[in-house]
């Protein structure tokens, strides 16, 4: 497959809003391809793992398509790996959605269901389907060197989820979000990995900044690689 560089590969494992992600890439001028080809994923300048649906089904498909090991290899590389919604959750060690399922294990920690969040004494609806704000964590008060660059703390993003991630290492949590009396991790940053619980491609101009930042990052990496040759 002849693809113009730089390009992002969007992982196709049968679950997720793949075309919305691709449209966001196109909007910022980033070439992208939707694929389940191991060769294309490994040859991409960045990989985006989106997802909407059941955790167990997603992991089953990743293993069936022999993509789990590819994602592990990408996580160990210097290439940007971006997880969105279920894509974030799949990076974790395990999930308790409809049973117990092993995840990719790239990020240590479980995926758990909201524990009856309340507001003014009333139990809030699950799934959490709403625009909600993302807030700096005390140890990540500056997002300038992450894909959240130029996104302000308190910015509203679009969420659709019933489960949340609980990273064991709190230092990798870039932002948290509150739903009633529940506070959860809404994005993480770890080495070459950025992942978020919200949908940046459905979050208007502020969400699109993440795709602009991804394009800029892979262009900068391409320049560095060229200079090193």
Give residue 227's pLDDT: 45
Q: Is the dihedral of CA 132, 123, 137, 11 positive or negative?
A: negative
**Residues 53-64: pLDDT tens digits?**
899 999 999 999
Confidence at 2, pLDDT banded by 50, 70, 90: low
- Determine the average pLDDT of the residues in 162-178: 97
Q: Is the dihedral of CA 61, 67, 73, 76 positive or negative?
A: negative
**Residues 73-119: pLDDT tens digits?**
999 999 999 999 999 999 999 999 999 999 999 999 999 999 999 99
Q: Is the pLDDT of residue 14 over 60?
A: yes
**Residues 109-164: pLDDT tens digits?**
999 999 999 999 999 999 999 999 999 998 888 899 999 999 999 999 999 999 99
- What is the rounded CA–CA span in Å between residue 67 and residue 12? 10
- What is the rounded CA–CA span in Å between residue 9 and residue 90? 17
Residues labelled catalytic: 85, 199, 201
């Amino acid at each position: 497959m002849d693809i113009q560089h730089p390009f992002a590969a969007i992982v196709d494992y049968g679950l997720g809003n793949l075309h919305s992600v691709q449209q966001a890439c196109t909007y910022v001028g980033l070439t992208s391809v939707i694929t389940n080809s191991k060769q294309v994923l490994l040859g991409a300048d960045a990989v985006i793992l989106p997802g909407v649906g059941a955790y167990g089904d997603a992991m089953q498909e990743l293993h069936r398509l022999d993509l789990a090991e590819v994602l592990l290899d990408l996580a160990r590389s210097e290439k940007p790996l971006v997880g969105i919604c279920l894509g974030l959750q799949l990076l974790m060690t395990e999930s308790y959605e409809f049973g117990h399922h092993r995840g990719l294990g790239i990020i240590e920690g479980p995926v758990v269901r909201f524990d009856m969040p309340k507001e003014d004494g009333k139990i809030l609806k699950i799934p959490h389907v709403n625009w909600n704000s993302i807030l700096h964590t005390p140890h990540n008060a500056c997002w300038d060197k992450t894909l959240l660059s130029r996104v302000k703390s308190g910015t509203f993003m679009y969420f659709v989820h019933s489960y949340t991630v609980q990273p064991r290492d709190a230092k990798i949590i870039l932002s948290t979000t509150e739903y009633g009396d529940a506070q959860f991790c809404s994005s993480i940053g770890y080495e070459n990995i950025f992942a978020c619980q919200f949908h940046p491609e459905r979050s208007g101009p502020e969400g699109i900044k993440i795709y602009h930042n991804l394009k800029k990052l892979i262009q900068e990496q391409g320049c560095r690689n060229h200079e090193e040759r």
